[in-house]
Chains A and B, each alone.
Chain A
């Protein structure tokens, strides 16, 4: 089978140790957590880091899903399965479970991490769209301190994030809202495949008025995995089919899908709208407590 090129290996004992190792080894060092994005690239020899810094021992520090103040906090080393099975995650944001259920496959989810997925920043990556939907913030640390960036500032483009060469993502913080529902809709060619298109929706209701909304888009080239135009339509509107249709039209215009073997651009654009409509319906039903 394919094999990685020679590489050095270090194991970080703590977050600070990981940062120190990154600084010592320079920009050709890479953190490795679950390894399910990086190792296949290394086997293809498309990624050739000089040094791998294994941060799996940081799980005690960085694997958690918990409430901290007004935020739901998800540690970067949280494995996908842990997030999928986290009651507190599901209690606040069903979208997290919707998405985790369709990320890769169960065995990969045992190993792959939340932080690894969003730092890979694949344009089809599900959690990036989920966190964009939820208006989450990323907490990033370097030797000079900790900074918090909004998701819009976290995603800088395909495979590029705000996490610098000597920085480490600590956690993702999602503001807890009341009266909200969320949902994730994904079309894939087959179970475990990357999204053809996926859409996340957040709907916060005050009676018959949408007070806040999020629409996240994966795999359609949406800037920062979001559709601000759709969100704009939703805010303040009635949660009706007409509103959802308008948001769907906006979302499908608010992206730049590329044709590939998962489908032609026109189909993806159609899906962006169709899945937006579906995700909004489900999110709204959940906000109203109408869907279990």
Chain B
């Protein structure tokens, strides 16, 4: 079947099998390998992308279901204005080690900050609680999101 969707602002169209998972569409059809997968049961959250401005687990969405929708991946966090404060925060606060869960964590963090620009620790922990990190023990991820909250983007990109 033919699907058309907007990915990171660009319209893309592909002929796919209806069963193709969105995560595979993003990674294999579009070559956007910043989005990862880590389980089969929607538990790990390494595959989180935005679908119409909300984080979703792209391993549990069919590409066909994204037809006509907007997808945003980690590759779109950095824009002309530079790094997203979330990216900067993850780097400055050592919010990542192996980097595998990082794209999904950052996509959720950006969404959280768009809704709640000054989240406290408990709010951040709750927001990322569907995403597993095996390296950081979460402490520095929380600090990274706080860093981003305290250093909001000066450009209008995330206004």
Contact = CB atoms under 8 A, between A and B. Distances in A.
> Are chains A and B touching in the complex at the 8 Å CB cutoff?
yes
Interface of A: 1-9, 11, 32, 35-36, 39-40, 42-44, 52, 54, 56, 104-108, 110-111, 191-192
B38 to A, nearest CB: 8
26 contacts: A1-B37, A1-B59, A7-B18, A9-B19, A32-B62, A32-B65, A35-B60, A35-B65, A36-B57, A39-B42, A40-B42, A44-B40, A54-B64, A104-B130, A106-B108, A106-B127, A107-B45, A107-B55, A107-B56, A107-B57, A108-B42, A108-B60, A108-B130, A110-B54, A111-B51, A111-B56
Contacts of B43: 192
Interface of B: 1, 17-19, 21, 23-24, 37, 39-43, 45, 48, 51, 54-57, 59-62, 64-65, 67, 108, 126-127, 129-131
Contacts, number: 90
A40 B43 CA distance: 10
A233 B156 CA distance: 61
Given A3-B19, A107-B130, A192-B129, A9 B62 contact: yes
B55 A110 contact: yes
Contacts of A192: 43, 129-130
A273 B126 CA distance: 28
Contact of B40 (A2, A5, A52, A54): A2
Given A1-B37, A4-B19, A35-B65, A111 B130 contact: no
Nearest to A4: B19
Contacts of A54: 62, 64-65
What 4 A-B pairs are tightest by C-beta distance, nearest first?
A105-B130, A9-B18, A2-B40, A4-B19
Contacts of B56: 107, 110-111
Nearest to A191: B129
B40 A40 contact: yes
Nearest to B65: A54
A10 B67 CA distance: 12
A82 to B, nearest CB: 11
A39 B47 CA distance: 15
A108 B57 contact: yes
B112 to A, nearest CB: 9
A11 B60 CA distance: 17
A106 B126 contact: yes
Contact of A35 (B1, B62, B108): B62
Nearest to A57: B68
